[in-house]
A and B are shown apart, each in its own frame.
Chain A
Amino acid sequence: MRRLFLWLPLAMFALFLVVVAVKLRQPGDSTIRSHMIGKPMPEFALQPAVPGRAGLRSADLRSGRPRLVNVFASWCIPCRAEAAQLDALKRRGVPIDGIAIRDRPEDVAAFLQANGDPFDRIGSDPRSQVQFALGSSGVPETFLVDGRGIIRLQHIGDIRPEEAGQIYAAWEQAK
């Protein structure tokens, strides 16, 4: 028994070699696919990011209509560039909710005043907990959630004017 035990380190090392050798043969792939597609929105209940407005709970997203959830912050400069596209989507009838990351109420209010306010509800995520649960690593990011609360699309980075059409089409399709 003790004899066999002594060979254990070698066996573990052999396993390591096999895994690594397999990995070395695979070509490098640095694209990141979202693991959240097709999964339900994680459960959360966020306080309002601006006093007097509605906060955001995951139940709000199971509304029977597809919605966008925009992860943003007042300190994030690309979020400002994205604001015009979100406004345009809103005007075409797309409902949008927001999650403000590591932000303060007065800063969010100033941001909305300066850049427009397309949001129905805005939840505050002061420690990025919901952001991480969503598999989002930065701001801005936008999720398309269908009427049953299933994530259909994750858009990483700001929505460029030329990309707004694709987002709208995906929203139409999710109906």
Chain B
Amino acid sequence: MMAETGLAALWLAAALSLLQLVLGIAFLRSSPGLLGEGDHPKDGGGAFQEPDSPSTERRSVPLPEASPGRIYAAAVRPVAIAQALLVGLSFLLLIQLFLRTDLSVELVAANSHTLKPWLYKFAGAWGNHEGSMLLWVSVLALAGAAVALLERRLPERTLIATLAAQAAIGLGFYVFLLFASNPFRRLDPPPVEGNGLNPLLQDPGLAFHPPTLYFGYVGVSIGFSFAVGALVTRNVGPAFARAMRPWILGAWIFLTLGITAGSYWAYYELGWGGWWFWDPVENASLMPWLATTALLHSVTVLATRDSLRAWTVMLAVVAFSMSMVGTFLVRSGILTSVHAFAVDPRRGAFILVLLAFYIGGALALFAARVGTVKEGTTFEPVSREGALVLNNLFLTVLLGLVLIGTLYPLATEAMGVKVSVGPPYFNAVAGPIALALVAAMAAGPVLRWRRDRLAQAARRLAIPLAVTALAFLLVLVLAPGLSILELLALVLAAGVAVASLAPLWGRNLRRTPLFTWGMVVSHLGIAVSLAGMASNAAFTRERLVAARPGETVKVGPYSIRFDSVQPIVGPNWTAIEGRLTARRGSRAAFDLRPQARAFFAPPTETSEAAIATRLDGQLYTVLGKSDAEGRWQLRLWWKPFVTLIWLGGAMVALGGFLSLVGRVRRGRRSAAREEAWA
């Protein structure tokens, strides 16, 4: 019954999303040409309405109480909420089916196993194609419902157009789920036992990484729908930007967390010692992040200075387009990667049609409509806006390079030549631009809006510049022989860390707004992360040896004794465990126990790295194969300060969170002020 209920809820949700779309269109057609549309002089040209102008909705001519348009408008929000509740229910039912290991459901039988630990039965619900698509659609509907519930600042027409756009995206993916990826299909007769879950996914990371990433990845859809709504109702201005900003920020926080968590997961689970592999799917999450990061900065320019209107709308479209392209690349089976579940090409064709429709539609709408959006105010090149434009430029170029690198093998393969684009390409082209971006990030926050003087800005940056020079000398003396990128990265990390604190100098810290704190923490996080990346690249020590038990191997400051190997048994696997004792100088020795695991459902071998975290880095050990003479392959790494990479990532997300709280609070306060004035 449960599977049938889930399917029925999914059908109902799909029907509601159609209703939401129809209601939205009906409303827009019944109330054309109200005041408060895009180019209205009071709104569009009002560059100096800071801090918060009353929303245009209040100034528009209200429809008569009982007109059909009013009824449509009143119905859209509840429908959006009901839709999210239904698809959420459907997703919960799927989880329940997995928890019970109901083998009469095809998806459960194909991906689960009665012996699997509880956590992986739970998380296994989205560790497969159909389940992950259901999660995708659930997040999309939840995002729409959140907008329906919470958004108060957007003019009503734009809001309803936004909800209609969100419903339109949902509708296509509901059809995809119901007709090409039904997660609730029954199996008759049910098998005696399930196939089990890919052992690489049997890790606590599966419980957190995909949902977090999806909240970001799909949450960006709000920006897309906002952009479409604004284009349809010709309403692009500071009020629109201020309304969109918290939503973008929210999605961006999740995206940042998801990518950071995914990077750490790959680092310890795959046992390759690397933290980023330029895998197509990693790129698929990085590209929306780059676009959203650019959007976050351009939306600020639009909100405070009413510039970059068309550009901001474009970025909002691009950000979610990248999410959809990523979904397509992963779910179509067109690329092979850790993340690609086995899929048939028909599904790929289906998603491709959806992409063509949504992205093509939005880009066409952009091209047709954005010409009618007047450009906002102008500014001098040396100014806060100028720095933010530079930031957008670097981020966009970076995005373009990653996109080209990801798609290039596909393009050449379509012409019959196989190539692979690996880390050498990405590191070589993305590295310098990322460093330039970080350098611009150091300067941006100390520049004034509209116009600034280079000499004055340089004076404000005197201390960071001095720190940079000092770091340069120190690194040259203490660590000669680094590559130019490693050297620059280390030096920049030091300078930028100091520069990122500059906006706080001379301020009363208790009265500094939360969103300024947020910016500082995020920028500092980037510097911290960069320091970790550079240190890992420059100072990692690696040893690959074939060792017999009893032998001792040196790596970095550690000497590691290979004591023995022991067989051990887990809940659904067996393993050979290496017993290692690590010593560093006169400090206390500690044990490391890397495993080579053999899972029996499905039969696969994985290696579980043993990692010891110290304040100044991580010792990373992997047990490999053995030979007939009793030697074991051991891979040992000493990675100084590698943990800073993910600590920095978490700080970036935390900064986003502070900023979000600050923005929402200020929004509330100004809304309350309006109430008082009214």
Contacts and interface: CB of A to CB of B under 8 A. Distances in A.
- Does B associate with A? yes
Contacts of A16: 325, 407
Nearest to A102: B544
Interface string B616-649: 0000000011110101011100000000000000
A6 B414 contact: no
Contact of A19 (B328, B367, B407, B542): B407
A16 B598 CA distance: 41
Interface string A70-85: 0001111100110000
B25 interface: no
A77 B633 contact: yes
A3 B334 CA distance: 34
Contacts, number: 84
B414 A26 contact: yes
Contacts of B625: 77
A170 interface: no
B334 A23 contact: yes
A87 to B, nearest CB: 17
B545 A75 contact: yes
B352 A17 contact: yes
B410 A2 contact: no
B367 A7 contact: yes
A114 to B, nearest CB: 8
Contacts of B328: 20
A17 B355 CA distance: 9
A153 B544 CA distance: 28
B542 A10 contact: no
Interface string A2-22: 110011011001101101111
Instruction: Say whether chain A's binding surface is mostly helix, strand, loop, or mixed.
Output: helix
Given A13-B360, A19-B410, A30 B366 contact: no
A169 interface: no
Given A16-B407, A102-B542, A77 B314 contact: no
Contacts of A26: 413-414
Nearest to A111: B546
A138 to B, nearest CB: 12
Contacts of B370: 6
Nearest to A18: B414
Contacts of A3: 371
> What bracket does the count of chain A residues touching chain B fall in?
20 to 34
Contacts of A76: 546, 633
Interface in A73-123: 73-77, 80-81, 102-103, 107
Interface in B406-439: 407, 410-411, 413-414, 418, 424
Interface string A31-61: 0110100000000000000000000000000
A73 B631 CA distance: 14
B545 A13 contact: no
Contacts of B629: 80
A6 B367 contact: yes
B481 interface: no
Q: Which of A2, A21, A24 has the most CB of B within 10 A?
A: A24
A77 B627 contact: yes
A30 B366 CA distance: 39
Contact of A20 (B334, B366, B367, B631): B334
A2 B314 CA distance: 15
Q: Which of A19, A20, A103, A107 has the most CB of B within 10 A?
A: A20
Contact of B411 (A6, A9, A10, A19): A19
Contacts of B418: 32-33, 35
B234 to A, nearest CB: 15
Given A9-B314, A74-B546, A102-B544, A21 B367 contact: no
Contacts of A103: 544
Q: Which of B349, B544, B626 has the most CB of A within 10 A?
A: B544
Contacts of B352: 17, 20-21, 24
B414 A13 contact: no
A58 to B, nearest CB: 20
Given A21-B352, A24-B334, A77 B410 contact: no
Contacts of B321: 13
B89 interface: no
B329 to A, nearest CB: 9
Contacts of B332: 24
A2 B367 contact: no
Interface string B340-379: 0000010011001001100110011011001100000000
A23 B371 contact: no
B324 to A, nearest CB: 11
A102 to B, nearest CB: 6
A35 B545 CA distance: 30
Interface string B119-156: 00000000000000000000000000000000000000
A91 to B, nearest CB: 22
Given A24-B334, A24-B345, A24-B349, A2 B371 contact: yes
A120 B635 CA distance: 29
Contacts of B414: 19, 22-23, 26
B367 A10 contact: yes
Nearest to A33: B418
B627 A28 contact: no
A17 B328 CA distance: 11
Contacts of B349: 21, 24
Interface string A129-172: 00010000000000000000000000000000000000000000
Nearest to B310: A6
Contacts of A24: 332, 334, 345, 348-349, 352
A9 B364 CA distance: 9
A33 B420 CA distance: 12
B333 interface: yes
Given A20-B410, A23-B413, A30 B336 contact: yes
B627 A6 contact: no
Nearest to B546: A75
Contacts of B336: 30
A23 B627 contact: no
Nearest to A25: B345
A39 B338 CA distance: 32
Contact of A9 (B363, B371, B424): B363
Nearest to A5: B367
Given A73-B544, A77-B627, A10 B410 contact: no
A129 B328 CA distance: 34
Given A6-B367, A24-B349, A77-B625, A14 B360 contact: yes
A32 B334 CA distance: 16
A11 B411 CA distance: 16
B364 A10 contact: yes
A28 B363 contact: no
Q: Which of A3, A14, A26, A75 has the most CB of B within 10 A?
A: A75
B176 to A, nearest CB: 15
Contact of A17 (B356, B366, B624): B356
Contacts of B626: 77
A24 B330 CA distance: 13
Q: Which of A10, A35, A102 has the most CB of B within 10 A?
A: A10
23 contacts: A9-B314, A9-B318, A9-B366, A13-B321, A17-B356, A17-B360, A19-B410, A19-B411, A20-B334, A20-B410, A21-B349, A24-B348, A24-B352, A26-B413, A26-B414, A35-B418, A74-B546, A75-B545, A75-B546, A75-B634, A80-B627, A80-B629, A102-B542
Given A22-B414, A76-B546, 4 more contacts: A19-B414, A24-B345, A75-B635, A77-B624
Across the A-B interface, give the 4 residue pairs with the lowest CB-CB distance, nearest first: A75-B544, A10-B363, A6-B367, A22-B414
Interface of A: 2-3, 6-7, 9-10, 13-14, 16-17, 19-24, 26, 28, 30, 32-33, 35, 73-77, 80-81, 102-103, 107, 132
